[in-house]
Structure 1
Amino acid sequence: MREITLRQIEVIRAVMLRGTISGAAEHLGVSAPGISRLIKHTEESLGLRLFERRAGLFVPAVEAGAVFDQIREVYNGVENLQMALDSLHKGHDVRLSFASAPSVAQFIAARAIRSLRGRYPDLFIDLNILKIEETIDYLLLERGEFVIMSSPVRNPGIENEEIAVGRLVAILPEDHPLCAQEVVSLHDLAQEPLIGVDPSDPYGAFVAKPFREAGIEMTQSVRGRFAQTVVSLVRHGLGVAVIDEFSVAEVYMPGIARRPLKEEGSISIYVVRKKGRVLSNFAEYAIKQFRKELAEAAQHWQVPATRRRE
């Protein structure tokens, strides 16, 4: 009978995560020759090739895919067990730390946290609001488990997963003449004082894209750093704006009118995490609730294609 020990599982996972023997040794705090010998012994005892050697890297062998799937499950179980033991040791001092972009944090995060609190009433929740440039340090230094962002984060130590796609919408002061229209065109908005975010900013680039694709010059009269600032400026009658639907996903927004755009414009929302990090059950459930709340918010602004083409 072929058997495998927890130590072998730990070593295989380390090689899988780091891609090299030396990287796995550093990860586990042991010598590289010991890792190499254990991998070789494990492959021989199992009668199975676990890794392919490609240009100095150890890549999981295709035929061992089922083994690696089970190793992930086992390791997740071990980590979850350790988390449960730590939680018992600390009593009620159980916490979940995560972060969000300002646009999602405004309304969607509060709804997700409400569901999270309902399931885990004693859980301490630490929500941070981050700019995209702050995300890398936050995750790699493990200050939090995940970040909800409106742009993917480009770093080899970080992975991005799209969890929602939303539309861009127009926002207007509630007494603006364009409020009489059910759907607003970018051509109409371009004739008004435009409020927005710098197009060189990742968020600002999303907002500027439909103008560029429609061949419309976007001249901003006022700029803000965050979507919430843009909303406030519009509310005070300083102009109109194009913004993502999640930033205005509240039932009551006094002073603001929201209208679908005639032209296509979308924004993706990502959950961003440190590559290889095993998330807690709390984090997994929180992400599930973000998916749910983002999907429900997006349904409010679904406009039939025939109407957009009118």
Structure 2
Amino acid sequence: MRLRQIEVFRAVMLAGTVSGAARLLHVTQPAVTNVLLHTEDELGIKLFERIKGRLYPTPEGRTLYAEVERTFADIENLRKLAANLRGGHTGHLRITASPALCIEIIPLAVSRFVKQHPDVSLHIETHNYRDVLNTVLVKNVDIGFTFNPQPHPALESDVIAEGDLVGLFPAEIGDGLAPVVALDVFRQFPLIGLHTDDPLGILVRDACQASDVLLSPQIEVKTNRIAMALVENGAGVAIVDQYTAASADPARVRVKALRTPLRFTVNVIRARHHARSVVEQHFIAEVVEVERLIARAAAGRIDRAA
């Protein structure tokens, strides 16, 4: 049976007459009659007995109707699913992000997102820069969030925010420094630096070369989160992103603006030709909004010149 035949059969069962079925379906009575007769001929069984102007289902018709109702329930579930997918209310989203973005931005975005989309499930990973790219490339995740990604022929990248690198100093050191510091100030103290294969590490390296300032990290780390923890414990000084700095212990750490501004971008990346789901778009919008909130909070932590 085709879907139209099922609809007509069900309408006749519900209405009990051809005229009633026609009204339910918004078609003419002859159209209902023709479909019904064709269905009986095609199936080779009689579906209704015609008694005093009404149609009464045969035993075969009643048996068929039970299956038709199950089919219609499935169809209704499909319609609801399609509506939920269209509205971004259901689905599964796989995300990866750089560690610095997973301190506050991604967790807060996820918290806000799941309250609005309780039927969406999420899978979240945090990786260093190269692994974020690789995880997106092999399609183990749908989207990734990272800093300053290099162009790649198999990836699409969109800027969703911009920010600044800042200086982190133990309180006993930072209290004796000006609100805004030059890069050569970091030569005076043990430096905690990112690996130079990290986009933010590359940003610092290029700025030092342009300013003819040689900075050699005494301690090299993989993430800004580790750098911040080391500064909090007095192991040295560091240059980190503003989001990491915003989460530093204010009793133990001072955050300084850099005289030479070092700007970075926050990007969402996906495999090229990856179909963007509505759920994905809603989550990215949440990340953008959360970034703005945290960026404003981060700005309040930075010492600046009067």
TM-score over 0.5 for the pair: yes
8 Å CA contact retained: 1:197, 1:203:
yes
- Residues 194 and 240 of structure 1 are in contact (CA less than 8 Å); yes or no, is this contact kept in structure 2? yes
Which of 219, 223, 239 is the matching residue for 1:222?
A: 219
Give the Cα–Cα distance (whole angstroms) in 2 for the partners of residues 148 and 134 of structure 1: 11
Name structure 2 gaps, 5 residues minimum.
1-77
Give the conservation status (yes or no) of the 8 Å contact 1:196–1:241.
yes
1:5-45 C-alpha deviation (Å, 9 max, x unpaired)? xxxxxxxxxxxxxxxxxxxxxxxxxxxxxxxxxxxxxxxxx
1:97 paired residue number? 94
Counterpart check, 1:167 vs 2:164 = yes
Whole-Å separation in 1 of the counterparts to 2:238 and 2:101: 17
Higher mean Cα deviation, 99-108 or 185-194?
185-194
* 1:122 aligned partner: 119
Once the two structures are TM-superposed, the CA of residue 217 in structure 1 deviates from its matched residue by 1.1
C-alpha change, 1:252 and 1:178, in structure 2 (3 Å) is closer
Count of aligned residue pairs for this structure pair? 223
8 Å contact kept, 2:98–2:132: no
Q: CA deviation at 1:93?
A: 8.5
If you compute each CA radius of gyration, which structure gives the higher value, 1 or 2? 2
Q: Which residue identity does 2:119 align to in structure 1?
A: D
| Maintained 8 Å contact 2:169/2:231 | yes
Cα drift, residue 137 of structure 1: 3.9
How far the C-alpha of 1:265 sits from its partner, in A, is 0.9
Instruction: Give TM-score, length-normalised by structure 2.
Output: 0.64
Equivalent pair of 1:103/1:227 in contact (CA under 8 Å): yes
Report the CA distance between 1:250 and its aligned residue.
Answer: 2.9
1:34-57, Cα deviation, whole Å (9 max, x unpaired): xxxxxxxxxxxxxxxxxxxxxxxx
SS in 2 for 1:206: helix
Alpha-carbon separation, structure 2, partners of 1:160 and 1:284: 14
Q: How does 1:1-310 map to 2 (within 5 A)?
A: 84-85=81-82, 94-178=91-175, 181-250=178-247, 255-300=252-297
Amino acid at match of 1:162: V
Asked if the contact 1:115–1:289 (Cα under 8 Å) also holds between the matched residues in 2, the reply is yes
- Give the TM-score normalised by the residue count of structure 1: 0.63
User: Is the contact made by 2:228 and 2:248 (CA closer than 8 Å) also made in structure 1?
Assistant: no
Aligned-residue offset at 1:208 = 2.3
State the partner residue of 1:10.
Answer: none
Deviation at 1:254, TM superposition (A): 5.0
Distance 1:111 1:193 in 2: 33
- Structure 1 unpaired stretches of 5+: 1-80
CA deviation after TM superposition for structure 1 residue 243, in Å? 0.7
